[in-house]
A and B are shown apart, each in its own frame.
Chain A
Amino acid sequence: MENSVEKKSGKITVKVSKEKIDPCAVLSQMTNPSCGGEIVFLGKVRNHNLGKKVLGVSYDAFAPLTEKIFLQLCQEAQAQWGQELDIVLVHRIGRLDIGDISVAIAVDSKHRDEAYQASRYVIEELKVRAAIWKKEHYEDGDSEWLQGHALCQHGHRHDSKHADKHSHNSEHGNQHQYHQHSDSNHAHHHGTSSSGGHVHSDGHRQSSVDMEA
């Protein structure tokens, strides 16, 4: 997999990488002198989940698609909280130990409120839209792929605000569910804004795709 391709679009930098995430390196990319608010969110591997002792987590990702989705999420955040936002989004893949940083989101903005909101938006959307999976490794030697949110194949954006409205196919408890939607009950979101935007469903699109091997 190509996991270290870095893409920049304006003030957005996204990356899926096997390398350890260095928060200082992330912060060093935030150099806009017009920004007065800067925050960094770090997601880390914790040592337990659902009553089981966790020794580590392996992250898997379809990196090319994930980086495009990352870029889209950050652009959506800019559309809502300001085109001037600087955003860095990095997600690690491979085997991580307890305490290792799995994801870093840095947002630089004129004022703190936009930075907090944009950061929260990106992490919540990432969890339900990015092509990333994690496998927990347990003390007893067992390991398990965690089950999360089903991606949408109807040409809409399926965002975090509406994930809970979808029907569940529960297997292992609250955090181990397929959050799956059916045509009859799912709500989708169009446009660049999800918070407070209008929600509707519509018909499917007919299209053709030409792909070479």
Chain B
Amino acid sequence: MLNITVKLFGGFRKYGNGEEISFSVPENIKVSELKKYLENEISKTNLAVDKNLIEASVFGNEDEILTAEKTITKDCTLAVLPPVCGG
């Protein structure tokens, strides 16, 4: 199993401690499969899961937005990126 830490931004800050959520996933999991684990972890909190927000979000690291097909092979810290509205 791999340990994944997901940094929270925007609408996700209402969950957990507002900074990050951690959970375990199987090795060699695709990024596209992370959402169900994130949703499961959020469902453990006392707040309703915003499935639309999760569906509309992507994952990234400090360098790039990760493609859905990428495979995660090591423990890592990612960020969940909801729809953006800078400016």
Chain A positions within 8 Å of B, measured between CB atoms, are 43, 59-62, 64-66, 68, 91, 102-103, 123, 126-135, 145-155, 169, 171, 178-180, 204-213
> Secondary structure of the A side of the interface?
mixed
Whole-angstrom CA separation of A66 from B10 in the bound complex: 14
| Nearest CB of A to B81, in Å | 5
* Cross-interface CB contact of A213 among B7, B32, B75, B83, cutoff 8 Å: B75
Q: Is the CB of A152 within 8 A of B85?
A: no
Q: A152-B58, A180-B56 are in contact. Are A211 and B76 (CB under 8 A)?
A: yes
Q: Is the CB of A211 within 8 A of B61?
A: yes
Q: Is the CB of A131 within 8 A of B81?
A: yes
| Nearest CB of A to B47, in Å | 14
Q: A146-B85, A178-B52 are in contact. Are A155 and B67 (CB under 8 A)?
A: yes
Q: Is the CB of A127 within 8 A of B79?
A: no
| Nearest CB of B to A14, in Å | 13
Whole-angstrom CA separation of A189 from B62 in the bound complex: 22
Q: Is the CB of B60 within 8 A of A62?
A: yes
Which A residue's beta carbon lies closest to that of B11?
Answer: A145
B42 within 8 A of A: no
Q: Which of B57-87 contact A (CB under 8 A)?
A: 57-79, 81-87
- B32 neighbours in A (Cβ, 8 Å): 153
Q: A62-B7, A151-B65, A171-B52 are in contact. Are A207 and B70 (CB under 8 A)?
A: yes
Q: A133-B10, A204-B69, A211-B76 are in contact. List 18 more A-B contacts (CB 8 A).
A: A62-B9, A64-B62, A91-B86, A127-B85, A128-B84, A132-B85, A133-B82, A145-B10, A147-B56, A150-B83, A151-B81, A153-B31, A204-B68, A209-B66, A210-B73, A210-B74, A211-B78, A213-B76
Which A residue's beta carbon lies closest to that of B4?
Answer: A213
B44 within 8 A of A: no
- B63 neighbours in A (Cβ, 8 Å): 64-65, 68
Whole-angstrom CA separation of A123 from B85 in the bound complex: 11
Q: Is the CB of B83 within 8 A of A178?
A: yes
| Nearest CB of B to A173, in Å | 13
Q: Is the CB of B67 within 8 A of A154?
A: yes
* Cross-interface CB contact of A153 among B61, B67, B85, cutoff 8 Å: B67
